Amino acid sequence: MPPLAIALSGISKHFGPVAANKDVSLSIAAGSIHGIVGENGAGKSTLMSILYGFYEADAGEIRIAGEARQIRSPADAIAAGIGMVHQHFMLVETLSVVENIILGAEGAAWLKNGVGKARAELARLAQDYGLVIDPDAIVGDLSVGLQQRVEILKALYRGADILILDEPTAVLTPPEADQLFALLRALKAQGKTVVLITHKLREIMDVTDAVSVMRRGEMVAHLTTAETSPPELAEAMVGRRVLLRVEKEARRRGKPVLEAVGLGVRDARGVELLQDLSLTLHAGEIVGIAGVAGNGQSELLEVLAGLLRSSRGVIRLGGRILNNADRSPAKLRKLGLMHIPEDRQRTGLVTAFSAAENAILGYQEDTAFGTGLFMSPSRIEAHARTTFNAYDVRPPDPGLKTAKFSGGNQQKIVLAREIERHPKVLLVGQPTRGVDIGAIEFIHRRLIALRDAGVAILLVSVELEEVMALSDRILAMCGGRITGERAAATADERDLGLLMAGVNERAA
């Protein structure tokens, strides 16, 4: 048996009172692709940062290719043949590709020779792995996929034998992700060891040889990919059986509450983002919008939520036609239309505020939180404490800065804020984007419960599986139009895919 590429034993790391890694051990065979899965905050990234010398472990031993190593800084890790592609790229956007690649490995005090050598090496890597890139392009001008390519080239240029990728597909389109996986297989064929951190189980099943599961800072399972299954992995990640399918009872659809007729939106260049779009939401149903990102779903949500003016069309809420004055977010909220925005960090939250403050954003005028000019910090905090308990926000600390919460917990803060206001209509955008499995399940169950209580819900999500699992009716969107409607119970993925691509079956 060949020596292990990486052998970690007894790694522990604390940040203040929080244990990010507890006595973690991990063995990775040379020349394999090894997956590490776990929910957000399970300690995957911390463990890899320790391996890369970004943090120093409080205890434990690191062996690289059979040899015990002290890795105190990224320089030590690079010397040990470890390269890392961080989730947030470590690139200097104002510099060119070649400058980014040689940064820290320039060779000599003058750049000239180093740049020449890097160009030659880039040409070779382009030939070996198909990693073609213009060395003189400015990194900030490149697409996200190409920026990731620069990161990978950086590691290979430094002669990395072990490549760690932290959530590499989070920013990629599906074809880009497929390209990346092909590259990882090619690297493996060259004898390199790849460590893939992710929380997407499909990727693990597709590309890895072995997989390790982390939960709450501990390593809970080491499995051979061929001998495991997504449900088993999911269970190991969250520590109990997960409902990958959402269980719900048949709908009891009520009266129409939100009706939109003939909505049209044009951008500054005159491009039609929404065209003659009509839909009706009934009380007690979830209507899902299926579509490839960028086909007008975001604009639809924004128009309905009062964030974007439509150039044409009528919206009726509870039978009443909304005039321009009614179509402001504050007024709509008063009328019972709440909105969980697609981008929680930009639109849903002020991440620099405390969690308690975010939990009342938009409702800060409510007399429950203060009187006249003054706000009551104690009442705001008490309110946050109750809702955080009810929604299982972790940690349940109202004073903590919102940016410090994981994606799933941030989403729960937004969800709690809007749901607790008893909406009649709820607009939900990407409810589970960047959210870990445990929280996804929680959010789904809340939305179903809300539907059962008679709320009309419009769901926009790029995850077709989610749309199919939650909705009662599915509307497919393409190019700013609704291209078809299906009952969720009878919809199938292929049929919806055609509608999303704008292929009209009747015409065909």
Q: Are the CB atoms for 212 and 26 separated by under 8 Å?
A: yes
Would you give the binding string for other proteins spanning residues 151-170, x where CB under 8 A is met? ---x----------------
Binds other proteins (CB under 8 A): choice among 67, 93, 136, 493: 93
Nearest to 114 by CA among 128, 100, 94: 100
Question: Is 84 near other proteins (CB under 8 A)?
Answer: yes
Question: Is 507 near other proteins (CB under 8 A)?
Answer: no
Question: Is 75 near other proteins (CB under 8 A)?
Answer: yes
Question: Is 86 near other proteins (CB under 8 A)?
Answer: yes
Query: For strand 312-317 and strand 370-371, is the pairing parallel, antiparallel, or unpaired?
Result: unpaired
Q: Are the CB atoms for 230 and 262 separated by under 8 Å?
A: no
**CA atoms of 179 and 186, how far apart (whole Å):** 11
Q: Residues for the chain: how many in total? A: 508
Q: DSSP string spanning 347-377?
A: II--TTSBHHHHTTTT-TTSGGGEETTEE-H
Question: Is 54 near other proteins (CB under 8 A)?
Answer: yes
Question: Is 15 near other proteins (CB under 8 A)?
Answer: yes
Question: Is 112 near other proteins (CB under 8 A)?
Answer: yes
Question: Is 52 near other proteins (CB under 8 A)?
Answer: yes
Q: Are the CB atoms for 288 and 467 separated by under 8 Å?
A: yes
Strand order of the sheet with strand 481-487? 337-340, 425-429, 456-460, 286-290, 473-478, 481-487
Question: Is 100 near other proteins (CB under 8 A)?
Answer: yes
Closest separation in Å from C-beta 90 to other proteins: 4
Closest separation in Å from C-beta 94 to other proteins: 5
Question: Is 74 near other proteins (CB under 8 A)?
Answer: yes
HSE-CB at 184 with a 13 A cutoff on CA atoms is: 28
Closest separation in Å from C-beta 162 to other proteins: 15
Question: Is 99 near other proteins (CB under 8 A)?
Answer: yes
Question: Is 452 near other proteins (CB under 8 A)?
Answer: no
Q: Which residue has the tokens 């009062």?
A: 306
Cβ atoms < 10 Å from Cβ of 142: 18
Question: Is 51 near other proteins (CB under 8 A)?
Answer: no
Question: Is 148 near other proteins (CB under 8 A)?
Answer: no
**CA atoms of 252 and 453, how far apart (whole Å):** 10
**CA atoms of 217 and 23, how far apart (whole Å):** 9
Closest separation in Å from C-beta 46 to other proteins: 8
Question: Is 108 near other proteins (CB under 8 A)?
Answer: yes
With contacts defined by CB under 8 A, name the span among 87-95, 248-256, 291-299, 483-491 that binds other proteins: 87-95
Question: Is 129 near other proteins (CB under 8 A)?
Answer: no
Strand partners, 481: 478
Question: Which is nearer to other proteins, 105 or 244 (by Cβ)?
Answer: 105
Question: Is 105 near other proteins (CB under 8 A)?
Answer: yes
- Straight-line distance from the first to the last Cα atom of the chain, in angstroms, rounded to the nearest whole number: 58
Q: Which two tokens stand for residue 218?
A: 């501990």
Binds other proteins (CB under 8 A): choice among 19, 29, 30, 103: 103
Q: How far is CA 358 from the centre of its chain?
A: 20
With contacts defined by CB under 8 A, name the span among 90-98, 127-135, 290-298, 453-461 that binds other proteins: 90-98
Nearest to 411 by CA among 334, 347, 483: 347
With contacts defined by CB under 8 A, name the span among 48-56, 282-290, 349-357, 373-381 that binds other proteins: 48-56
In the complex, the residues that contact other proteins under the rule CB under 8 A are 15, 46, 52, 54-55, 73-78, 84, 86, 88, 90-95, 99-100, 102-106, 108-112, 114, 154
